[in-house]
């Protein structure tokens, strides 16, 4: 492979994928964002008892 081919190949692999014909819908964008977040974050679920909720008034 020549140097120009190496440069083209490496630059193409680093670019983001963009759909030119049909943009992503809002739900597709949300699903993609959640998928990216799941790679780096851990999901936890928390339940709070109603008796622990107090109004400050």
Summarised one tens digit per residue, pLDDT across range 17-53 is 666 788 889 999 999 999 999 999 998 999 988 875 5
Structure confidence at residue 2 as a pLDDT band (50, 70, 90): low
pLDDT of residue 30: 96
Q: How far apart are CA 5 and CA 11, in angstroms?
A: 10
Say if residue 13's pLDDT is above 80.
no
Q: How far apart are CA 54 and CA 57, in angstroms?
A: 9
Q: Which residues contact 1 (CB under 8 A, 6 or more apart)?
A: 9
Contact call for residues 32 and 24 (beta carbons, < 8 A): yes
Greater confidence (57 vs 28) lies with 28
**In Å, how far are 23, 28, 33, 41, 42 from 38, measured between CA atoms?**
23, 15, 9, 5, 7
pLDDT of residue 31: 95
pLDDT of residue 21: 82
């Amino acid at each position: 492979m020549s140097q120009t081919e190496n440069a083209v190949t490496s630059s193409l692999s680093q670019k983001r994928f963009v759909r030119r014909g049909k943009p992503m819908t809002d739900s597709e964008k949300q699903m993609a964002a959640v998928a990216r977040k799941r790679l780096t974050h851990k999901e936890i679920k928390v339940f709070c008892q109603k008796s622990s909720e107090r109004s400050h008034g």
